[in-house]
A and B are shown apart, each in its own frame.
Chain A
Amino acid sequence: MRRSALILLGLMLFVSSIRTAALPQASPNETKPKTTAKKPAADEGEKRFKENCGRCHNPPDSLSPREVKAVVQHMRVRAMLSAEDERLILKFLAP
């Protein structure tokens, strides 16, 4: 009985997690109708951020333009970013 309940609970959690992962993760700002398209460089920068930096951590809550250069230079050395990665991620974090 307990085993069945545990299996059921596990299944519910699994299905719930897949649903949560699959749902579009819109932030409050993104629910507003978009009037302008994102710049391609920013899209590519976001992609590079996810591929490189996102392997260990999420984007910081907020970064002021003053902090961005130091952060990206730090991560270029730490995370072995290429010059192109650095340029695009810089554009993504400080458009």
Chain B
Amino acid sequence: MVFRIVRRTVIKAGIALATICYIATVACAQSDTPILSGAVAFLGANRGGAPTYQPVIEPVLVAPFGDHFVVEARGDIQGFVFREGGNTGPYNAIFAASLFYLQLDYVANSHLTVTVGRFLTPFNIYNERISPIWIANLQTAPIIFTIGTRTSASSNGAMLRGVAVDRANWTINYTAYVSALTTTQNLEAGRAAGGRVGLFLPHHGFEVGASYQRFLQNEGSNISGAYVVWQPQPIPLDVRAEYAHSPGGHGYWLEGAYHLASNRDTGRWLSRFQPVARVQQYFKGNPTPEDLLPSADVNQFDVGLNYYLPHNIRLNGSYGRQFSSAGDANIWNFQISYRFLFPAWPGGHS
């Protein structure tokens, strides 16, 4: 039964990828070389004594069409191996494929890019910038991640984005989007509209921004959020934080990572380490099952260590402790990932 599902999933994903590659090949044969990027990873976790294992492949396809059009897609195929009954029963496995985005971008000018198709919901920054498995400093997403990204973290519709004001010392970036309700398996999206605006000070490595979303399904609701990023140039410190509020609940997370050298590829053993820590709090509102939010207040901290090996291989491990009236839990995570990037096919012009 499991193998039938796996076979069906792999065949479906393969057909989708082959179709995208074929279209890109035909369309770009005379212009630009598409690239195939992404990562393969193996994740292990133990949450409250229940072990799980996840082999994942997360490919990204980028096909430029001249100077103004780009087709981008990212998906994943992953297995989820777990013990039935938490930590007592026999091991079982399920496999699934997801399409995070498949979008056509039209770069109209310096200030505007128009995107249509399926795209990552641009609420705060975690979903768009930090969620890829080769970027996230900690494996687990923050508790408030589903606020503003519920259903699938992707939207089906149209989006405008770009840099509204571009000065030497500061820039203002923005996104605005609408999404239609979609219930097709693996392509789910909610009916929503929203936007985000951010102020970025490049010389200080500082960005602050705010998000708003009107969720247009069910009774409708207003969702808001804010974020801060600070990466001072002189020291390899990376501080990020988000706050999000919805009728279902609100909360924040604050994460800090410190690279033990300013350049991780120096060959020095210490330069390849990056300790990470995150604290987060969630306060329950009136959550519904669709919110995918915890049913009780939660406090959690995580500490982890990343180690960057040569050739784009990364190891990371983390420990977290969750405090909740629904039950405290220890959370252990381990991951090895390999980041790849190559032309989507051989040949082409240089």
Residues of A in contact with B (beta carbons under 8 Å apart): 16-17, 20-21, 23, 25, 27, 48, 50-52, 55-58, 60-61, 63-67, 69-71, 73-74, 76-84
Contacts and interface: CB of A to CB of B under 8 A. Distances in A.
Chain B interface helix/strand/loop/mixed? mixed
A70 B293 CA distance: 37
B94 interface: no
Nearest to B128: A78
Q: Say whether chain A's binding surface is mostly helix, strand, loop, or mixed.
A: helix
A70 B107 contact: no
B202 A52 contact: yes
5 contacts: A25-B263, A67-B33, A73-B62, A73-B64, A74-B35
Contacts of B348: 66
Contacts of B60: 74
B312 interface: yes
Interface of B: 32-35, 37, 60, 62-64, 70, 72, 105, 107, 109-110, 113, 115, 128-130, 134-135, 161-163, 166, 171, 173, 202-203, 205, 229, 231, 233, 235-236, 238, 258-266, 268, 270-271, 311-312, 341-343, 348-350
Contacts of A83: 109-110
B274 to A, nearest CB: 11
A70 B311 CA distance: 21
A92 to B, nearest CB: 15
A50 B34 CA distance: 24
B202 A51 contact: yes
Contacts of B134: 57
B343 A66 contact: yes
Contacts, number: 109
A58 B264 contact: yes
A25 B262 contact: yes
Contacts of B109: 83
Contacts of A66: 33, 343, 348-350
Contact of B173 (A48, A55, A70, A80): A80
A58 B271 CA distance: 13
B158 to A, nearest CB: 14
A67 B107 contact: no
A65 B260 CA distance: 32
Contact of B135 (A50, A57, A60): A57
Contacts of A81: 163
B176 to A, nearest CB: 13
Nearest to A22: B262
Nearest to A65: B350
A25 B271 CA distance: 10
Contacts of B70: 70, 73-74, 77
B260 A20 contact: yes
A56 B129 CA distance: 8
B123 to A, nearest CB: 15
Contacts of B115: 77
A80 B113 CA distance: 9
Nearest to B113: A77
B62 A21 contact: no
B130 A77 contact: no
Contacts of B341: 60, 63, 67, 71
Nearest to A83: B110
A74 B229 contact: no
A82 to B, nearest CB: 4
Nearest to B260: A17
Given A55-B229, A73-B64, A80-B162, A64 B113 contact: no
Contacts of B63: 70
A45 to B, nearest CB: 13
A53 B203 CA distance: 14
A17 B274 CA distance: 10
A71 B62 contact: yes
B103 to A, nearest CB: 8
B62 A74 contact: yes
